[in-house]
Structure 1
Amino acid sequence: MVVLYLVIGNWRFPWSFRVYRGKGTSSPSQLALKLLNTLPSILTKSFPIYVLGDTAFGTIKFIEKLRDSSFNHHGILGIPNTRKLTDGRKVSELKTRGQQVYLNGLNFPVFLSWVWLKRDGKRVKRFVISTKPMKGKTIVRWGKRRWQIEGFFKTAKHQFSLHRFGQKTLLGVYRWLILSLVSYLLAYWIYLHNGYFDDLDWYDSAEKALVLLLPQILLLSLIKKLKLLNPWFYKHGLELCLVRCKM
């Protein structure tokens, strides 16, 4: 799934998406270009557009299209450390942030820098290019924003099951995406309702949303788990009975 996520001032929200259907169909970068075409003119004419993307979108055609007059956007994109320059060197061999370089296959210059990220307790180096002339520190600042935005997708995937949709039809994908986003919003609203404005714990907020808004689903889930434990109760000479209390 390719998602276009907008950041406008303090506003952040997913705008649209396309489903990648595998080899022989439109690539992720081609789908991303289609998504960029959906941006309303009131945005593209009122603001400079900076497109942040990972290495999947660092293709020659994608970079060239960003510079096309129909888009005229600026790109800040990740590239692998094995990416080659026209002189045969790899980007990993460069030592100066913000320098102008020519990627192999690209007939105009881009500007290269890198960021350091923590992964599994270790520092890893990630290379970033900008189609707009920028200082190395500026490219780093923009490049880091992409990993901040990615936090939304990791939360949606691993806390709200977006990565488990397993649907084969577009309608199925839409349905699962809506369920995932609704659960995400409900958890966030409960977080705001409780008056917490720091240390957002998505798991805790989701649990509170379940208890407060969907107690019937919580009850059915608990009953299902208890039924699975029935053989264990019988083995120890116990029997579990649920009795409805009169209110």
Structure 2
Amino acid sequence: MVRVQSPGQGLLRLLQFSGHLASENKPRLQLSYWENLVKEYFTSKAVMKLTLWKDNQRNEAKPFDIGVPILPRFFLITSQSGVKSMTLSLDGASERHLGQGHTVVECVGAVWTYKYNNGYTVTLRGPLTAHVFVVPRTPTPQNAGMPLQQQQPFTLKFDGIQFDANLHEKSLMLDSISGQRLQDPQTPRQRHPATPNMTGTPKEDDRKEESRIYFERGASIPTEPVNAFGIPQATMRCLEVRR
């Protein structure tokens, strides 16, 4: 029997869910994949509350309450918008028991990372809270043939997740930049005997200056895949229409 009172069970369940989000596979572009995943990890009345801030400023926010009927489409449309994987990082998370079969996982500095096919990585940062409950397991064809002693009659599911993304950051893989890389045309390349500077422009103290790469005309980078709130515009439209 699964006992949510066991230390770390709620956090472990959240990390298991993150592992599914991180999986880079073709079924993630099918609605049935996300419907099955939501059914496995969320109660029928669960709600994921997501708050996004425009341009990382405290001037305009968009709060969303995403219920179970919408959650699969939220993940599907996000994946169809070029997201190949998502990951939850929960460094410093804590777990509290609120009653029989009910625990809450809290992380002040949670990080939700989105990796895009075009080379961008977008990270949403903020506090995360997840309520985890022990619920009876619904029989499935996968475990129907298992011996009774191996079947778990209970499982852990999320009844509510709240994530306040008060900061989002973007980075781009170097390989995603096209164009010829060249030295600063005004300064010949030099090397310091202790700290070689293979591609940068030397300054007064080459050992303390970071190497720089300059690009000639014609260089290009992919278009940013997210809007001012840090998520794909198609995902935003999905959430706004289904409020």
- TM-score normalized with structure 2 length: 0.22
Higher relative contact order (CA 8 A, sep 6+): 2
Between Structure 1 and Structure 2, which shows a larger proportion of strand residues? 2
Give TM-score scaled by structure 1 length: 0.22
Q: Higher helix proportion, which one?
A: 1
